Structure 1
Amino acid sequence: MDTKELITAYYDAFNAGRTDEMLAYLHDEIEHHVNEGQIRRGKDQFREFNAHMTRCYKELLTDIVVFANDAGDRAAAEFVVNGTYLQSDEGLPEANGQKYVLPAGTFFSVRDCKISRVTTYYNLADWTRQVSA
């Protein structure tokens, strides 16, 4: 599987809600750099993050475009997050099923044919405005 196929399979699993399958595409030493917060290291922390996200949010990514360098060790994806805020997340506005649409992007490092870094960016102020309206 080349890098673009790897990233596409990762997002296919995300969109299908198969978070355990997502873990299969990750390197054991995965580093998850989040938009706000500390770096999460290892599959256990990534699994915990996914469980938290599944409780608080229902998201579908659309308009996904995946890019990769020639060496296949770095990639990026641009997409639109179509979400529903299900359960209040600590430090964020109260949840009551608000819908949101948010452009986002992720940068990846790939090692040993597995994703070794996930760095996601989105506009938190825009998300907060949407769920607070």
Structure 2
Amino acid sequence: MPHAATLKLLDAYYAAFNAGDTAAMLELVTDDIAHDVNQGERRQGKALFAAFNDHMTRCYKEELSDIVIFASEDGRRAAAEFIVSGTYLVTDEGLPPAAGQTYRLPAGTFFDIREGRIARITTYYNLQEWIAQVGA
């Protein structure tokens, strides 16, 4: 997949994220998607990725801005950095109680691309900064 096609794919992924369109996000990933977040174990497969998205939609309202996407020349690997602005809607297990707190923090994601779809999503952010912002 050429570099430009990878950039277009990830633009579509982030547009779907910001629109809250998790069905569109699912269309852009492989059936065996590997999904890693800061805390916790790898989720493998579309079903677990969909369940994660459902959980996130219930607990958080987030929008990404200042998105900058980088891709390797062959288009097989990519990265993005952005600002997450959100509202903590419902208490997430093991985290501070939710009371509509807002937060804003930088984050980054690494991607593997295979056959025109996203095959791996690995996201990093500063969890301790998020906890400080929601007032724990």
**Which bracket does the TM-score occupy, shorter chain normalised?**
over 0.9
- Residues 41-67 of structure 1, C-alpha deviation per residue, up to 9 Å, x if partnerless? 000000000000000000000000000
Q: Number of residue pairs matched?
A: 133
Kindly provide the amino acid, as one letter, of the partner of residue 85 in structure 1: Y
Q: Which residue in the other structure is 1:121 paired with?
A: 124
Q: Percent identity?
A: 60
Quick one: which amino acid aligns to residue 45 of structure 2? G
Is 1:109 paired with 2:115?
no
The partner residue of 2:18 within 5, 12, 15 is 15
Matched, 1:24 2:24: no
Aligned residue for 1:89, secondary structure, equals coil
Structure 1 unmatched ranges of 5 or more: none
Q: Distance in 1 between matches of 2:45 and 2:32?
A: 5
**Residue aligning to 1:63:** 66
1:29 Cα shift? 1.1
TM-score by length of 1: 0.98
Instruction: Tell me how large the CA RMSD over aligned residues is.
Output: 0.9
Matched, 1:41 2:44: yes
Task: State the alpha-carbon separation in 2 of the partners of residues 119 and 8 from structure 1.
Answer: 16
Code of the aligned partner of 1:20: A
Letter in 1 for 2:53: N
- Could you say what secondary structure the match of 1:87 adopts? coil
Partner of 1:77: 80
Q: Give every structure 1 segment of 4 or more consecutive aligned residues whose post-TM-superposition deviation is greater than 4 Å.
A: none
